[in-house]
Amino acid sequence: MKKLLLSGLSAAILLTSCQKTATTSTTAASTPVADAPSNKTPQEQAAAFLTQYSTTYQKLYTLSTEAEWASNIKIVEGDSTNAVATRKANEALAAFTGSAENIQQARALLGQKDQLTDLQVKQLEAVLYAGANNPQTIPDVVKARIKAETEQTEKLYGFDYRIYQKSVSTNDIDNILRSERNVKKRLDAWQASKEVGPGLKDGLLNLRQLRNQTVQSLGYDDYFTYQASDYGMTRAEMMDLMQQINEELRPLYRELHTYARYELARQYGVKQVPDYLPAHWLPNRWGQDWSAMVEVKGMDLDAALKPKGAEWVVQQSERFYTSLGFPSLPQTFYTKSSLYPLPADATYKKNNHASAWHMDLDKDVRSLMSVEPNAEWYETSHHELGHIYYYMTYTNPDVPVLLRAGANRAYHEAIGSLMGLAAMQKPFLAELSLVDKNAKTDEVQTLLKEALSYVTFIPFSAGVMSEWEHDFYAKSLPADQLNKRWWELAKKYQGIVPPAERGEQYLDPATKTHINDDAAQYYDYALSYVILFQLHDHIAKNILHQDPHATNYYGSKEVGNFLRDIMYPGASADWREMLKEKTGEELSARAMVAYFQPLMDYLKQQNKGRKYTI
């Protein structure tokens, strides 16, 4: 199996959730790299080509991300200024990366790969991977796709969500779903969250055609196949892996699903326990995180964080990383990022999805968030800074510009999620005086809350999202079956059903940001959770010598060194070899299953005599 290569284009910007945005501009700079003199050795020819290519690529990439950034932090209805600038910037980068000459030169040099260094081979393969997404053999299709992506982003993030005719933010909707006990009010909020979908349908169908056409011109079957190839895997291999992960966690998820049905019915005063979970009962718009169901006594983070304010949340996240031996964030991170919600009287909107940006593949790192002083944003802030510190760590003289990305796309998410998990464990919180270290807390409830976050995510990510996008791109899912297929998969994998019939006048999958702007790679997040628990298991047992359920990374330079060793080589390292070397095992959900094993006895006791439906 060919080794995984990550292109700078495909992974250097992660919006966490993490959406990719990458592509940039000036027409003059989009000309291909000149042919290398034939009297040089293959290594010398490759060095000359890669130096020229990387210099131009980095310039165009920077212009692109600056344009994308502007489009994401200031969305003004009816104003196309940012959209036009973004499209032009992306077209210029696309013209360069997809130029036939650059692709031909990279292929010719790879024809002599036995005479090149491993690092040169990796960079040349990254050149080809980026080129396949923007082939200038079909420039009109590439331009049309870029235009369509820009328009789709504006429609998605510029949407005016309303409840009872009043404009609300997605934070407002999320807060209702986390805390409201009135089922009617929950339903109204959930329905409001789905209103953005119908207006995205035509754009998404157009994007499917354009994305598939783009990569098919260089031999990929479809866009999903193209994205999976970034792991060195076929489409079928990736889907088999998703099935494996689902199956390994299914017994625990079955217990959680049964528990949630009965517990939520009790909370909402419903006597007849439903066989499947109504989507609006769950504390998340897509049912991917149920952790708000459980409040652990002695662990009221929302109350502890509220008086500290949003700025403290971000600054404390930075202090976590510096305690591990990482450097302070550059001052430009704070001056150029968009970290907090817009004021209520703002005349424009911004992207409401948390994200981390490597603006120039060098020192300019930023984050786009809407931080509020609560537990969810506290964890998210630690996660996003995980991406930022990953960028900063692999930006070093040993990692070429084209390989400044994670060891694979999932590694980036794994590092962020790992730090989010670590920051939520009781000994760590006690270190920060966010909880009383002597307060008695129910460890089973703590583990249940974690399972309702991490385990419930797997059927959504490895099941619903991955299969829907697979069918959408690889099986040409008919336009009149998009919503039907979404809810079939939600019922199959999550045991979730809509509050009422959701016909094809809706497009509920499109309400998930990644379907629009980070397409055909949501399996990244499922894999990241598997990797996260492998890393955490190793850190807890072999570095800290602590219970994996009660760790405190804070101040451990040894933990920092372990993470830095993983982050430093970027995409120049083989992801499988790195995982085996650092944790002693291949990719496996073993550590994740083991972490939650103590919860199984509790759940089985709670579910005794109850009806299982999945």
Q: How far apart are CA 283 and CA 178, in angstroms?
A: 4
Question: Torsions phi, psi of 282, nearest 5?
Answer: -90, 150
Q: What angle do CA 234, 235, 241 make, to 5 degrees?
A: 90
Sign of torsion, CA 62 322 375 545? Answer: positive
212-253 pLDDT, tens digit each:
999 999 899 999 999 999 999 999 999 999 999 999 999 999
pLDDT for 441 equals 86
Q: How far apart are CA 369 and CA 355, in angstroms?
A: 6
For 145, the enclosing helix (H) or strand (E) is helix 139-157
CATH number listed for the domain at residues 238-309+316-325+375-606? 1.10.1370
Distance of CA 410 to the CA centre of its chain: 8
Q: How far apart are CA 551 and CA 540, in angstroms?
A: 7
Query: 96 and 29 in contact (C-beta within 8 Å)?
Result: yes
DSSP state of 326: P
pLDDT for 35 equals 65
Q: How far apart are CA 357 and CA 68, in angstroms?
A: 10
Q: How far apart are CA 220 and CA 213, in angstroms?
A: 9
Q: What DSSP string runs through 376-387? A: HHHHHHHHHHHH
Q: How far apart are CA 583 and CA 254, in angstroms?
A: 29
The closest alpha carbon to 530, from 452, 583, 467, 470, belongs to 583
Tokens coding 280? 């609006």
pLDDT for 439 equals 86
pLDDT for 9 equals 33
| Residue in this structure with the two tokens 């704070």, named with its chain if needed | 334
pLDDT for 10 equals 36
Q: What DSSP string runs through 563-600? A: HHHHHTTGGGS-HHHHHHHHHSS-S-SHHHHHHHHHHH
261: Cβ contacts below 8 Å, ≥ 6 apart: 273, 274, 275, 276, 277, 613
For the chain, which ranges sit under pLDDT 70? 1-31, 34-38
Q: What angle do CA 306, 310, 311 make, to 5 degrees?
A: 135
186: Cβ contacts below 8 Å, ≥ 6 apart: 176, 177, 180, 280, 281
Burial profile 554-579: b = 16 or more Cβ within 10 angstroms, e = fewer: bebeebbebbbebbbbbbbbbbbebb
| Residue in this structure with the two tokens 């495909």, named with its chain if needed | 10
DSSP state of 348: S
The domain locations on the chain are: 238-309+316-325+375-606
| Residue in this structure with the two tokens 């670590």, named with its chain if needed | 422
Query: 522 and 516 in contact (C-beta within 8 Å)?
Result: no
Tokens coding 313? 């949340």
Tokens coding 569? 């080589």
598: Cβ contacts below 8 Å, ≥ 6 apart: 444, 447, 549
Q: 26: phi > 0 → left, psi -120 to 50 → alpha, else beta; which? A: left
